[in-house]
């Protein structure tokens, strides 16, 4: 599962595929005033766009805590970019922004450090045919006699029937060996959940809680074949215009002035633990507890260092973004018992010294069904009830 992508200038130019038919030059750049007006309409909150499962089936390869809605990503990209633009998401998670950018004819680049997130993001851009994937799955032989589950942590074993767990390991290892990223993403997507199509005992789909029932045997290949077919129901282009890489947003990996627009939902400020929340899926990818601890240390999520680390990100973005380009961050507030932090305000002040001009902060209330922290009923601070919000911070870079 090592990442072998080298984002040199030569690799970067490979983004210009011959099959991009739209002429970028015929699209006039929208004024920032029009962009802000259009974003304020919040078109992702009405009609079919309101649905959590709106859009291409590839968005549902697997879940991820705190991800933005596909329709939200769709409208941010449609409003703030034009066909042919290079759209960079330095915190891409499971690839929601890069996938929508790719489907809309943009050139997408996504970075993340979370191994689980990167596996799912890469899965969305491996475009083998359905027939090819089904044929490969049907060739797998589930001979589990040589597979031992004794070395697997007790935490993991409690979720699975022993036979199911052996099958998962056999299938997983063959996928990794054969570089079948799409199928590996599908497998990890169904590795735990609360419906018959999942492989575990009844538990949470996003965050697993201790099962209160004895795991029953669930055949892996049967569910994998069904999952794979579901992913093709809406169809998708056979070619892709994206790069996904396990890279640190604080490290420069792209050429200067090579990005047209940054659209990203950075890590939530001291709110979500992206390692512990995905602990079971990371374990099923073979990650040890020690590696999880090391990963957690690398991620930007601690309150004491959050702004300092985000400043490092800003310095990189200043270099790779073109002059007068937009940087759009979707940010969540921090809620503590006695105070709240408006993260968008903090980031806008921090980035102003780098040449980023704040154009707007647009409030977008998070529906109750999509809240990912403990059931949040509103914090009463200074006598007022705070709504649970995402804030869309729109900035323009002036070098």
pLDDT over 70, % of the chain = 87
Mean pLDDT rounded to a whole number for the chain = 88
According to DSSP, residue 232 is labeled T
**Stretch 272-290: mean pLDDT, rounded?**
94
Query: Is the Cβ–Cβ distance between 312 and 300 less than 8 Å?
Result: no
Whether residue 388 is predicted with pLDDT greater than 90 in this model: the reply is no
In a domain, 9, yes or no: no
pLDDT band at 392 (very low <50, low <70, confident <90, very high): very high
Residue 128, beta-bridge partner list: none
Q: Which domain holds residue 71?
A: 27-114+247-280+294-397
Question: Is the same domain home to 254 and 110?
Answer: yes
Least confident range of 63-67, 194-198, 248-252, 365-369: 365-369
Question: Is the same domain home to 257 and 384?
Answer: yes
C-alpha span between 206 and 204 (Å, rounded): 6
Residue carrying structure tokens 């154009």: 359
For the ranges 43-52, 332-341, 352-361, the one whose mean pLDDT is highest: 352-361
Question: Is the same domain home to 215 and 305?
Answer: no
Whether residue 368 is predicted with pLDDT greater than 80 in this model: the reply is no
Question: Is the same domain home to 211 and 332?
Answer: no
Whole-number pLDDT of residue 8 = 44
Question: Is the same domain home to 260 and 393?
Answer: yes
Task: Encode pLDDT of 136-191 as tens digits.
Answer: 999 999 986 678 888 899 999 999 999 999 999 999 999 999 999 999 999 999 99
In a domain, 285, yes or no: no
Question: Is the same domain home to 59 and 89?
Answer: yes
Question: Is the same domain home to 265 and 316?
Answer: yes
In a domain, 3, yes or no: no
Helix (H, G, I), strand (E, B) or coil at 369: helix
Buried-exposed string 4-27: b where 16+ CB fall within 10 A, e elsewhere = eeebeeeebeebeeeebeeeeeee
Long-range interactions of 345-349: CB distance < 8 A, separation 24+: 346/269, 346/307, 347/307, 347/310, 347/393, 348/393, 348/395
Question: Is the same domain home to 253 and 391?
Answer: yes
Spatial CA neighbour of 143 closest among 169, 175, 161: 169
In a domain, 224, yes or no: yes
Number of other residues whose CB lies within 10 A of the CB of residue 338? 7
**Stretch 36-47: mean pLDDT, rounded?**
96
Spatial CA neighbour of 238 closest among 19, 5, 71: 19
In a domain, 388, yes or no: yes
Q: For strand 242-246 and strand 86-89, is the pairing parallel, antiparallel, or unpaired?
A: unpaired
C-alpha span between 310 and 301 (Å, rounded): 10
Number of other residues whose CB lies within 10 A of the CB of residue 174? 17
Whether residue 27 is predicted with pLDDT greater than 60 in this model: the reply is yes
Task: Encode pLDDT of 295-325 as tens digits.
Answer: 999 999 888 899 999 999 999 999 999 999 9
Question: Is the same domain home to 253 and 393?
Answer: yes
C-alpha span between 391 and 174 (Å, rounded): 42
The count of structural domains within the chain is: 2
Question: Is the same domain home to 144 and 82?
Answer: no
In a domain, 124, yes or no: no
Question: Chain centroid to CA 390: how far?
Answer: 16
Whether residue 233 is predicted with pLDDT greater than 80 in this model: the reply is yes
Asked which of 207, 231, 255 is the last residue of a domain, the reply is: 231
Whole-number pLDDT of residue 201 = 97
Spatial CA neighbour of 171 closest among 185, 154, 184: 184
Whole-number pLDDT of residue 372 = 46
In a domain, 238, yes or no: no
Question: Is the same domain home to 143 and 109?
Answer: no
Give me the phi and psi of 232, to 5 degrees please. -100, 5
Whole-number pLDDT of residue 144 = 64
C-alpha span between 181 and 369 (Å, rounded): 30
CATH number at residue 42: 3.40.50.150
Question: Is the same domain home to 173 and 94?
Answer: no
Whether residue 74 is predicted with pLDDT greater than 60 in this model: the reply is yes
In a domain, 303, yes or no: yes
Query: Is the Cβ–Cβ distance between 284 and 172 less than 8 Å?
Result: yes
Whether residue 356 is predicted with pLDDT greater than 80 in this model: the reply is yes
């Amino acid at each position: 599962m090592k990442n072998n992508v080298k984002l040199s200038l030569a690799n970067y130019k490979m983004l210009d595929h011959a099959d991009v038919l739209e002429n970028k030059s015929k699209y006039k750049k929208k004024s920032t005033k029009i962009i802000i007006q259009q974003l304020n309409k919040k078109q992702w909150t009405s009609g079919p766009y309101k649905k959590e499962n709106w859009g291409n089936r590839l968005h549902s390869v697997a879940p991820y805590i705190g991800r933005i809605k596909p329709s939200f990503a769709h409208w941010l990209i449609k409003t703030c970019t034009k066909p042919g633009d290079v759209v960079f998401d330095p915190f891409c998670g499971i690839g929601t922004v890069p996938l929508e950018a790719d489907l809309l004819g943009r050139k997408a680049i996504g970075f993340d450090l979370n191994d689980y997130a990167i596996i799912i993001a890469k899965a969305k851009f491996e475009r083998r045919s359905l027939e090819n994937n089904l044929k490969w799955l049907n060739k797998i032989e589930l001979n589990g006699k040589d597979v031992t589950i004794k070395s697997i942590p007790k935490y993991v074993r409690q979720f699975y029937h022993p036979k199911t767990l052996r099958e998962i390991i056999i299938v997983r290892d063959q996928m990794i060996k054969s570089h079948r990223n799409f199928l590996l993403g599908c497998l990890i997507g169904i590795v735990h959940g609360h419906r018959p199509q999942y492989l575990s005992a009844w538990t949470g789909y996003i965050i697993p809680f201790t099962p209160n029932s004895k795991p029953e045997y669930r055949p892996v290949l049967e569910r994998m074949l069904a999952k794979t077919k579901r992913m093709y129901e809406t169809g998708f282009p056979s070619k892709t215009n994206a790069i996904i890489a396990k890279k640190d947003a604080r490290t420069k990996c792209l050429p200067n002035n090579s990005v047209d627009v940054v659209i990203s939902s950075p890590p939530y400020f001291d709110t979500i633990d992206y390692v512990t929340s995905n602990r079971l899926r990371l374990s099923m990818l073979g990650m040890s507890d020690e590696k999880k601890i090391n990963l957690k240390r690398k991620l930007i999520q601690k309150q004491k260092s959050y702004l300092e680390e985000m400043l490092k990100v800003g310095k990189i973005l200043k270099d790779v973004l073109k002059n007068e380009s937009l940087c759009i961050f979707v940010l969540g507030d921090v809620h503590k018992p006695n105070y709240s932090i408006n993260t968008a305000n903090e980031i806008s002040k921090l980035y102003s010294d780098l040449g980023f001009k704040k154009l707007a902060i647009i409030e977008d209330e998070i529906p109750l069904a999509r809240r990912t922290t403990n059931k949040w009923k509103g914090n009463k601070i200074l006598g007022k009830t705070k709504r649970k919000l995402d804030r869309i911070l729109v900035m323009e870079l002036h070098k």
